[in-house]
Amino acid sequence: MKKDNLIISKKKFNSRLIVGTGKYKSMSECAKAIKISGADIVTVAVRRVNITDKKKPLLMDYIDPKKITYLPNTAGCFNSDEALRTLRLAREIGGWKLVKLEVLGDKKNLFPEMIETLKSTEILTKEGFKVMVYCNDDPLMAKRLENVGAAAIMPLAAPIGSGLGILNKVNIQIIRNQTKLPLIIDAGLGQASDATIAMELGCDGVLVNTAIAKAKNPFEMARAFRNAVIAGRQSFLSGRIEKKIMGSASSPKKGII
């Protein structure tokens, strides 16, 4: 099989699995799980430095940004101004232009606030950012994000951290059919097979955090997701059989004794 890279804003990545770095018990657990997952891209959050406790370990000491692409996110932002401020700061830390925009609208269900998200995508794109956008699974909104210059469309499978898997496969398929942009399922996956389903729907990748970080064995779950994404991609590229209502025997009828 020829090289099948994930390409985002002309940058090539080997792995189609993007992992989050939150919710792990420790930095070392997080770093090990990422290594096993084979991910080339990890999402990171921007927060205040603890200036009173200087001994607190830094993420960059555990995950080398020269080896793994940091994807700064705007998690915790509830309006455009907060999101813009966060990503401009992220860029200042070390020149990050590829970013994940996530503007939330509700503290309980964590659904994206799409009006603010659309506004922010447009502004950030004009400022030279390559914006991967967390969004709901609405094909019309996905189109609008594409029109204002999004670098990738990242619809949720289900609410963040819910582990429910893809709730609306039809919408994901409609979005897939209408866009050539990278389509990455972001949020809501619970187990490895959810990732396979996403890839079989033709998505370009998946973004997983809680399902790995909060699994009883995060390392084995990281491995499972790695394999699941590869399996799903191979299955998609292989062209599945048509669905039929009636049975179709696998063994030839000729020569039956």
Minimum CB distance to other proteins smaller for 152 or for 207: 207
Cα-trace Rg, the chain: 19
100 is catalytic: yes
Active-site residue, selected from the candidate residues 100, 126, 216, 254: 100
Query: Site residues for other proteins, window 78-117 (CB under 8 A)?
Result: 85, 88-90, 92-94
Interaction between residue 225 and other proteins (CB under 8 A)? no
Judged by CB under 8 A, the residue of 17, 39, 44, 124 near other proteins is: 44
CB 138, min distance to other proteins, A: 21
* Whole-angstrom distance, CA of residue 91 vs CA of residue 227: 32
Please say whether the beta carbons of 168 and 137 come within 8 A.
Answer: yes
Strands 98-101 and 69-72: unpaired
Q: Is 23 in the site for other proteins (CB under 8 A)?
A: yes
- CB within 8 A of 118, min separation 6: which ones? 141, 144, 145, 148
Question: How far is the C-alpha of 86 from the C-alpha of 44, rounded, in Å?
Answer: 12
Query: What DSSP line would sit under 55-67, residue for residue?
Result: TSPPHHHHS-TTT
- Asked if residue 48 binds other proteins (CB under 8 A), the reply is yes
Kind plus residue range of the DSSP H or E element containing 232: helix 218-238
Only one of the segments 21-29, 116-124, 174-182, 223-231 lies at the binding site for other proteins (rule: CB under 8 A); that segment is 21-29
- Contact footprint for other proteins (CB under 8 A): 20-24, 27, 30, 43-49, 51, 54, 58-60, 70, 72-73, 75, 85, 88-90, 92-94, 160-161, 187, 207, 209-210
